[in-house]
Structure 1
C-alpha cells in the first residue's frame, strides 16, 4: 500500500505540472500545430533535453532501478517506415482528441468526462496492436 502512494503522488505532481504549464490546453496545442506560438515547442524541447541529460547520467553512473538492477538501454531497430507510420497514427490521435496520452488523464481529472472515450479508444488501439502485432512487418 505504501509503495502505491508514491506513484499516486507522482501522478498528482505530473497532473499539476501539466495543468500549470498549460500543456493540456487544446488552444496551446492548436497554436503549436499552426506554428503560432513557441510555448509548446519550448515545453517539448525542455522535456527532450532533460530526458537526454537523465539518460546520460544513468549510463555514466550505471544507476540502478528501484529493485536494484542496473538500468540498461538497447539500440532501436533502424527503419524509418515504422517510425513514420507510428508517428502519423500518434499525430492523428493527438489532432483528433487535442491531447496526447499523458494529458488525457489530467483532463479527465480536471472534469472533462469526454476523455473517458479517448482513454477507451487508446486502450482499444493498444489492445488491437497487441492482438495483431505478430502479423505486422516489424
Structure 2
C-alpha cells in the first residue's frame, strides 16, 4: 500500500504544481480559453499508455497484488454513455474532476468541499438506485 500512497502523492503534487487543481483553470479549458489542461492530460495519457503496454511484458504478475495481468473489457452501452454525460455535466458545473478536487484541498480551496460532498451523495444515490433495480430484477445486461 505504500506504493499506492506514493503514486497518489505524486499525482496530487503534479496537479497542484500544474495549477490543474484550481477550478478556474479547468473552467477556462472547458470554455476554450486555456489549453494547458490538454497538455497535462495528454502527458498523463502517454505515460499511462506506455506503462499499460510495457509493464505486462516486463513482469508476469502485478507488483501489489501478485495477480496475473488481465484486461476487463466493458462494452460501450447506454449506461456508459449516460454516466459519462452526467459526469461531464458535473465536471463542467463544478469546474473540477474528482482527482483534482482532492488536490484542490491541498492548495487551500476549502469551498471545493461542496463538490466533494456532492460526489459522495451522487455515488451513494446511484448505489441505492442500482441496489433497488437489482432487487426488483430490472438490471440491464451491461450494468457492471
Interval of TM-score (by shorter of Structure 1 and Structure 2): 0.7 to 0.9
TM-score (ref. length: structure 2):
0.78
Residue in structure 2 matching 1:47, options 15, 36, 44: 44
Please tell me the root mean square deviation across aligned C-alpha atoms, in Å.
Answer: 2.1
Runs of at least 4 residues off by over 6 Å: none
Residue in structure 2 matching 1:124, options 121, 132, 136: 121
Residue in structure 1 matching 2:86, options 83, 89, 93: 89
**Alpha-carbon distance in 1 for matches of 2:8, 2:57:** 28
**Alpha-carbon distance in 1 for matches of 2:49, 2:90:** 26
Q: What is the CA deviation profile of residues 14-49 of structure 1, one whole-angstrom value per residue up to 9, with x for unaligned ones?
A: 222101112112232122112223211111122122
CA apart distance, 1:109: 2.1
**Alpha-carbon distance in 2 for matches of 1:27, 1:70:** 42
Distance 1:7 1:98, change over 3 A: same
Residue in structure 1 matching 2:22, options 22, 25, 37: 25
Alignment coverage as a number of residue pairs: 134
**Alpha-carbon distance in 1 for matches of 2:9, 2:62:** 25
